[in-house]
Amino acid sequence: MIQQSSSTGQSDSAMRDPQGDLHQYAVMLDVEIRSREKMARHLPGLPLKQVLYRLAAQFWEDQKYVLYRYGQGVPLAVLAQDAAACTRAMLADLQFVQREGGELYAGICPVEGAWRWNYGLAAMVLLLADDPQLPAAFTGLMSEGPDQRTYLFDLLVKAFVPGRPIAAHYHPNRYALPWSEPVVRALALPPAQQGAALARHMENWPRLMRPYGWKPALDFSPGRDRLFCDFAFEVALAVCGWDIDDSGFAHHPYYPRDLVAWYRARIRHGRDAWRAHQAGAGVGIAAPPLPTACELAGSTRHGLARWIELAADGDQDATDAVLEAVGNPPVDLDELACALGDADIALYADIEDDETLAAQIDAVSAARGLGVFDEPAAPPSGRARCSALLRAWEAWLAERGYRLAAAELEGAWHALVVRTACIGEFQALAGTFAIALRASGEAFKD
């Protein structure tokens, strides 16, 4: 278990978190420090079963602790010490848990490469620490199991630790794909095009973070929003590992440019002088294919497959994924709604969950290339805000040639976006499969 740093450090000049709140950071870190102190006092007296459980649960918290200190504005020299201490402490705890936990803990993995805080710790280890042994030691926290690895994370780490193997196959992680695949595609391009591709990705980066807590304006009043402490660490790792020109996005508020500057000034030509310029991971990169779309007017699909295809706006991969999930008619409406939501085709949010609804609106709008939807300022939250979001989005979509179709689903908002030219066919097919759609004027009342 990592102990709190012996030097808390002062902020370099201000918080790095562009929407942060100093009081919120101070309270959160104080709670974390007190929790660690309490755990250190009581852990030796606990039964082995509880010790193993608590150490295993602490791996995520250790990584988040370092990440929050970065957001707070702790100096980079202190963060370099934090990252090194965190890595060594987790390695020691991991060895203990695996040794004493037997088969139950044999597959435990502190760093899977699918979670945002994994990238934060990796960036601070690989970009700040001048210890030449630390990067390889960090890979000891990573899994070899196919379910606990991602292609992007392995590529990024391999640029700093050439011995890190690339797996023959990776299981897609749908939570990580929206923000990881654009970086993989950028790295697969010729060096002269990589910077521009990452700049385009950074333009979308805040929207991609909606499911993780980013909002255009956070509200820290009691009972409202929590800190969103995250940055595009995966982009910083790519820039440093592949020596990419970041001038097109260096001033983005969520780009950790100070990590990149530190690396270039102190690490690149010292610890990492072995790596040739723009060599990156030293392996060919397989860019993930873009979604396959069809011309809706010329499609040969029929029945339920055609209905889903219309809801997917012709995205064949998404259509196939939903069909695989729900099988053949008759279909359960709740099951269908979940599958459509999982494929990022439809909105599916609880009746009071305005944050999830806003994130899904962003994702569906982006998937159709419609641009950024400007949310209404009020109401501030809850069911009334959900209703206002949907009514405003419905009007916004109509201006762009789409209709918003709402399904009858108790206790939840469920809606699909369909081209205006196809809405008649879509409604007729819905009737064929007993999928009840609400009349437009009755759909989004609070």
Say whether both 262 and 386 belong to one domain: no
Say whether both 96 and 156 belong to one domain: yes
7 pLDDT band, cuts 50/70/90, is very low
Say whether both 206 and 305 belong to one domain: no
Question: Would 290 be classed as within a structural domain?
Answer: no
Full DSSP string of 100-142: HHGGGGTT--SB-SSSHHHHHHHHHHHHH---TTHHHHHGGGB
Q: Is the pLDDT of residue 435 over 80?
A: no
Provide the mean pLDDT of the chain.
Answer: 87
pLDDT score recorded for residue 57: 86
439 pLDDT band, cuts 50/70/90, is low
C-alpha to C-alpha distance for 352 and 375, rounded to whole angstroms: 17
Structure-token pair, residue 332: 């359960």
Say whether both 143 and 201 belong to one domain: yes
**Which of 251-265, 315-329, 406-420 is predicted most confidently?**
251-265
Tens digits of per-residue pLDDT, 149-173? 899 999 999 999 999 999 988 887 8
What would the mean pLDDT of 412-433 be, rounded to a whole number?
86
The whole-model pTM stands at 0.81
- Residue 156, strand partner residues: none
Say whether both 258 and 130 belong to one domain: yes
Burial, 6: exposed, middle or buried (Cβ in 10 Å; 0-12, 13-18, 19+)? exposed
Q: Is the pLDDT of residue 104 over 90?
A: no
Question: Would 282 be classed as within a structural domain?
Answer: no
Q: Which residues are CB-neighbours of 358 under 8 A, at least 6 positions away?
A: 210, 215, 375, 389
Say whether both 322 and 263 belong to one domain: no
DSSP 8-state class, residue 287 = P
Whose structure tokens read 């082995």?
Answer: 48
C-alpha to C-alpha distance for 420 and 204, rounded to whole angstroms: 26
Q: Is the pLDDT of residue 98 over 70?
A: yes
Say whether both 181 and 321 belong to one domain: no
Tens digits of per-residue pLDDT, 286-312? 888 777 777 888 888 888 889 889 988
Question: Would 384 be classed as within a structural domain?
Answer: yes
Cα dist. 377→207, 222, 223, 254, 385 in Å?
Answer: 17, 19, 19, 23, 9
Tens digits of per-residue pLDDT, 334-344? 788 788 888 88
Question: Would 11 be classed as within a structural domain?
Answer: no
Range of the domain at 327: 296-443
Say whether both 261 and 314 belong to one domain: no
Number of domains in the chain: 2
Query: Strand (E) positions, 284-345?
Result: none
C-alpha to C-alpha distance for 337 and 328, rounded to whole angstroms: 15
Instruction: Quote the percentage of the chain above a pLDDT of 90.
Output: 41
Cα dist. 300→18, 31, 53, 145, 383 in Å?
Answer: 49, 59, 54, 40, 40
pLDDT score recorded for residue 226: 87
Tell which residue, 366, 356, 419, has the closest CA to residue 390: 356
